[in-house]
Amino acid sequence: MRFHFAYGSSAFIARKMSAAPATTPAFPLAADWRDFFALTKPRVITLVIFTGLCGLLAAPGHIHPVLAFTAILCIAVGAGGSAALNQWWEADIDAGMKRTRKRPLPDGRMDRTSARDFGIALSAGAVITMGLAIGWLDAAILAISIVYYSWVYTIWLKPRTPQNIVIGGGAGAFPPMIGWIAVTGHITLMPVLLFLIIFMWTPPHFWALALFVQTDYAKVGIPMMPVVAGERSTRRQILIYAALLLPLTLVPWWLGKTGPVYGLSALVLGLIFLGLSAVVGLRTSLPEGDRMKPEKQLFGYSILYLFILFAMLVVDRFAMQGFSALGS
Ligand code: HEM
Ligand SMILES: CC(C)=CCC/C(C)=C/CC/C(C)=C/COP(=O)(O)OP(=O)(O)O
């Protein structure tokens, strides 16, 4: 089903592509390094980088520390570049939302061309360096994730369908796979499972947030799930994805790819995630003046959850190595 929103229209896209976009201020202030840094969405990409690092550290095999550092740097720079391209494209949308209107473009601190060029330079630099230093398979996956976030999600899906973040969630799910392949050189089941875990985690992560900032999305015509399908349906879907996430995170343990340190952590972390999602998912009527506390808690916990889950993957690997060293 296709949703007809102003941002999905060809007129909107044509205006975006024009040389003088509506949001370019007449006399843009000179942007300093802090504005360029802000374009990379540093807070959000911390977790992207961390999951990439954990994928690299949990993979079987050895990688020279300099190459490991290079691979993670490429993930960071590529993610930052794609975030800059996202903001280049969405300057007018960001201008319309309280949460985003102080970003460098909508605030008039930077012109759009600089943001676009910065995004392209970072993205291209990251992919080429990855290819030369680590391998072209990893470079190709990095390029796919950059295009996925800055084009498939931002330009194509986000303005068109409430499934935008379900399908688009793939963009942020690649880094652990990239980290893993930097060590092993090829795709196996485990990096695919890590991809699927983040893929399944994204809807509850984002819809929890969308529930408490949904008025903003409605204002700028972005068809986020609560805006299109309503709160009730969004809440149910959060619960469904959280319920699917729990067994999925246990698959690496069931298959013997990880040990009990990861498995039991995934179980406990997942049960808490499911519990918080159930509170959000089963709420039907909201009391007057409700401040959406459970939704905010779920969003905050979703971030902590992924941090700890991936950290446990690494701890587990070193614990398993320790046990086998003791046994030999
Ligand atoms: C399509 C997928 C995703 C969407 C639409 C989404 C959306 C968002 C939004 C709108 C915020 C609020 C950020 C802000 O106010 O600037 C946020 C926060 C955050 N997201 Fe996501 N996200 C997605 C995927 C991911 C992924 C894959 C990760 C990491 C693996 C991630 C990590 C984070 C973190 C760490 C924050 C908190 C940032 C802070 O502390 O301000 N997100 N996300
Ligand atoms: C390795 C690599 C290239 C990874 C890139 C993927 C990446 C940066 C994923 C994070 C996804 C993200 C920040 C979504 C924000 O949604 P939004 O852009 O809709 O949020 P907004 O409303 O705050 O702009």
> What pLDDT sits at residue 125?
98
CA dihedral 74, 305, 199, 166 (to 10 degrees): -120
Kindly indicate the confidence band of residue 87, based on its pLDDT and cuts at 50, 70 and 90. very high
Q: What are the tens digits of pLDDT across the range 217-274?
A: 889 999 999 999 999 999 999 999 999 999 999 999 999 999 999 999 999 999 999 9
Ligand 1 centroid vs 206 CA: distance in angstroms?
Answer: 7
Determine which of 21-25, 66-70, 198-202 has the lowest per-residue pLDDT on average. Answer: 21-25
CA triple 97-103-105, angle to 5 deg: 100
pLDDT at 121 over 70: yes
pLDDT at 328 over 90: no
pLDDT at 323 over 80: no
> What one-character-per-residue DSSP string does 68-96 give?
HHHHHHHHHHHHHHHHHHHHHHTHHHHHT
Domain locations in the chain? 32-187, 189-321
More confident residue, 165 or 6: 165
Determine which of 58-67, 118-127, 162-171, 294-303 has the lowest per-residue pLDDT on average. Answer: 162-171
Closest ligand 1 atom to 172 CA: 27
Nearest CA to ligand 2 atom 8: 79
Closest ligand 2 atom to 164 CA: 19
Nearest CA to ligand 1 atom 20: 44
Kindly indicate the confidence band of residue 201, based on its pLDDT and cuts at 50, 70 and 90. very high
Reported ipTM: 0.96
The whole-angstrom separation of Cα 223 and Cα 1 is 12
Q: What are the tens digits of pLDDT across the range 260-315?
A: 999 999 999 999 999 999 999 999 877 777 888 999 999 999 999 999 999 999 99
Count of Cβ atoms closer than 10 Å to residue 291 Cβ: 10
Q: Is the CB of 82 under 6 A from ligand 2?
A: yes
Task: Sort 26 into a burial class: Cβ within 10 Å, 0-12 / 13-18 / 19+.
Answer: exposed
CA dihedral sign of residues 42, 47, 48, 49: positive
Residues above pLDDT 90, as percent of the chain: 81
Radius of gyration of the chain (CA): 21
The whole-angstrom separation of Cα 12 and Cα 16 is 6
Nearest CA to ligand 2 atom 23: 100
pLDDT at 14 over 80: no
End-to-end, the C-alpha distance of the chain in Å comes to 59
Q: What ligand is nearest to the CA atom of residue 166?
A: 1
Mean pLDDT of 109-120: 96
Ligand 2 centroid vs 86 CA: distance in angstroms?
Answer: 8
Evaluate whether 52 touches 176 at the Cβ level (below 8 Å). Answer: yes
Tell the residue number behind the tokens 């509170």, with chain if given: 279
Q: Is the CB of 51 under 6 A from ligand 1?
A: yes
> What pLDDT sits at residue 113?
95
Mean pLDDT of 68-81: 98
Residues above pLDDT 70, as percent of the chain: 90
The whole-angstrom separation of Cα 136 and Cα 48 is 21
> What pLDDT sits at residue 109?
93
Mean pLDDT of the chain: 90
Q: Which of 171, 152, 80 is nearest to 123 (CA)?
A: 80
Second CATH level (architecture) for the domain 32-187: Orthogonal Bundle (1.10)
Phi, psi at 20, each rounded to 5°: -120, 80
Evaluate whether 59 touches 184 at the Cβ level (below 8 Å). Answer: yes
> What pLDDT sits at residue 249?
98
pLDDT at 21 over 60: no
Residues 6+ apart with CB under 8 A from 126: 73, 74, 75, 77, 78, 81, 142, 146
Q: What ligand is nearest to the CA atom of residue 97?
A: 2
Q: Is the CB of 146 under 6 A from ligand 2?
A: yes
> What pLDDT sits at residue 126?
98
Evaluate whether 143 touches 127 at the Cβ level (below 8 Å). Answer: yes
pLDDT at 147 over 60: yes
Nearest CA to ligand 2 atom 11: 172
Residues 6+ apart with CB under 8 A from 92: 21, 22, 23, 106
Q: Which of 116, 84, 99, 98 is nearest to 19 (CA)?
A: 116
Q: Is the CB of 198 under 6 A from ligand 1?
A: yes
> What pLDDT sits at residue 321?
82
Nearest CA to ligand 2 atom 5: 79
Q: Is the CB of 97 under 6 A from ligand 1?
A: no
The whole-angstrom separation of Cα 128 and Cα 116 is 18
Nearest CA to ligand 1 atom 36: 44
Ligand 1 centroid vs 44 CA: distance in angstroms?
Answer: 5
Hey, which of 205, 212, 241 would you mutate to test ligand 1's pocket, going by the most ligand atoms within 8 Å of its Cβ? 205
> What pLDDT sits at residue 16?
47
- The structure's pTM equals 0.91
Mean pLDDT of 145-156: 96
Structure letter (DSSP) for residue 213: S
Ligand 2 centroid vs 255 CA: distance in angstroms?
Answer: 31
Structure letter (DSSP) for residue 224: -
pLDDT at 29 over 70: no
Q: Is the CB of 154 under 6 A from ligand 1?
A: no
Inter-residue long-range contacts of 21-25, CB under 8 Å, 24+ positions, other chains counted: 21/91, 21/92, 21/112, 22/92, 23/91, 23/92, 23/95, 23/105, 23/106, 23/112, 24/111, 24/112, 25/108, 25/111
